[in-house]
Structure 1
Amino acid sequence: MRQTRVYDPYFLQSRQAPIHINCSISLSTNVIDFNQIVKEAFAEDVPFGIVGLHPCGDLGPALLRLYQECHNIKFITIVGCCYMKLTSESEMTSNAYGYPLSQFSLENKFHLSYNAREVACHALESYIERLKRNEHWQLKIHCYRAALEYLIVQHFPEYHHSGLANVKYESKMSFSEYCSKAVKHVHINLSEKEINSDVIKAFLDEWKAVLAFYTVRLLFAPLIESTILLDRYLYLHEN
């Protein structure tokens, strides 16, 4: 039988229910307005911390800016992700963007392309383990994704860099099956003629070359992610 937990009555009496705040946070969020929202929710001016477990794109930098500007925020813990969704200085007309954050990076004109930021999102460890176990066939999915991106650029350029569904490669999965699963959430309708064209067949025959290229590409992932994280560290250090 499952053992019943016994709690100290003191903690049961003093325990407070969670307070939920529903608000949108962006790089343009005003720190005074944000602090007022928190103050009204807790009915007092309380110190607090920020924990971001999936601060996608610009949300990470937005939280860092709030931490830097709001004296009531005493600590911050964020786990960066989705770096390709960061806005950059070259993409924005305003002074608010996700990368770079630090004055040092700005003065030295540091720039990371979309492709570079996308690479930084990938974990090397699981990929290496698959290579060690000789599970190369599972990595054929990267060739499928590259071929699909080619089709999207050729026939649906407005969906270039769109988020597609994650598809786990299964033994004997055809490229047509992969495409059907990958684009199910976006308005892309590829014909069998496009999917089975001679150009695509030639691409798919080169899947081992794509795998080799992808492997070399991933070697840069830790370096690029470190560049982004060091920029955030410098931003906090400067302020």
Structure 2
Amino acid sequence: MKLSCAQTGSTSKEHSGFPMSDFVRSLPHYRNMCSYESLEMGCHFISQYRQRLLASEPSLKRHVVRAALQILLYKRKRKSEIQFRRLKIKNSEQLPFKEYAERAFKRLGMEYDVTSNEIEECESLIESHWRAVVGAYTVRLALAPLVEAYILIDRVLYLWEHGISSSLVPVFDPRISPRNMAIVAVKS
């Protein structure tokens, strides 16, 4: 769901982004949905995360570890370097934070100039805030089906606006995958 958003004032109705329908484009606040983060949220689902929550896996700390790394990078005015980059470091939540930071800096091609004081501050933040980050991420995942529904309904409306009868149909059990909806259309 790496959608692009229609540009303000755009007259083109033919684009693969969001929104596609004139109806959604006419809504006063549709632009609030046009950030990468908002649209990307619709790709996730809480069912798998629920299992991790019940198991209390160490991977629950993954997001707060990444946030602590971002603090170190922001202090070095390198926000743009990581803002839209995927930084895949295996088992990051199980590594000592110092080792994770060293690997991340190396992967980003940056000199590792982090003090032991900064590492201690980050470790303290991780331990004191990881539950709040898990809570925020859980709320985010709870909203994901609404975002996906909004995008799918926009597509159905687009088809209707172009004279194509269509509907959303569940094609299998959503517990298998939340991507269980198909847009079925009949062009007369």
TM-score (ref. length: structure 2): 0.65
Aligned length: 155
What secondary structure does 2:95 align onto? coil
From 126, 137, 140, the equivalent of 2:48 is 126
Q: Is the helix fraction higher in 1 or 2?
A: 2
- Compared with structure 1, are the counterparts of its residues 103 and 184 closer, same or farther at alpha carbon in structure 2 (3 Å cutoff)? farther
Counterparts of 2:113 and 2:9, CA distance in 1: 36
From 209, 212, 223, the equivalent of 2:135 is 212
- Compared with structure 1, are the counterparts of its residues 143 and 219 closer, same or farther at alpha carbon in structure 2 (3 Å cutoff)? same
Q: Deviations over 1:69-122 (max 9, x none)?
A: xxxxxxxxxxxx33xxx2223579674561111111111131213322232222
Counterparts of 2:111 and 2:45, CA distance in 1: 31
Q: Which has the higher contact order (CA 8 A, sep 6+)?
A: 2
What secondary structure does 1:121 align onto? coil
Counterpart of 1:99 in structure 2: which amino acid? F
Corresponding position of 1:117: 39
1:1-239 residue pairs with structure 2 within 5 A?
A: 81-82=1-2, 86-90=3-7, 95=12, 96=15, 98-109=17-28, 110-111=30-31, 112=33, 113-135=35-57, 137-154=58-75, 155-169=77-91, 172-182=94-104, 186-193=108-115, 196-197=118-119, 199-205=121-127, 206-239=129-162
What secondary structure does 2:115 align onto? helix
4+ runs of 1 displaced by more than 4 Å?
Answer: 90-94, 180-190
TM-score (ref. length: structure 1): 0.53
Counterparts of 1:142 and 1:184, CA distance in 2: 20
* Unpaired runs of at least 5, structure 2: 163-188
* Unpaired runs of at least 5, structure 1: 1-80
RMSD of aligned alpha carbons: 3.1
8 A contact 1:119–1:218 mirrored in 2: yes
Could you tell me the percent identity over the aligned residues?
A: 31
- Compared with structure 1, are the counterparts of its residues 179 and 197 closer, same or farther at alpha carbon in structure 2 (3 Å cutoff)? closer
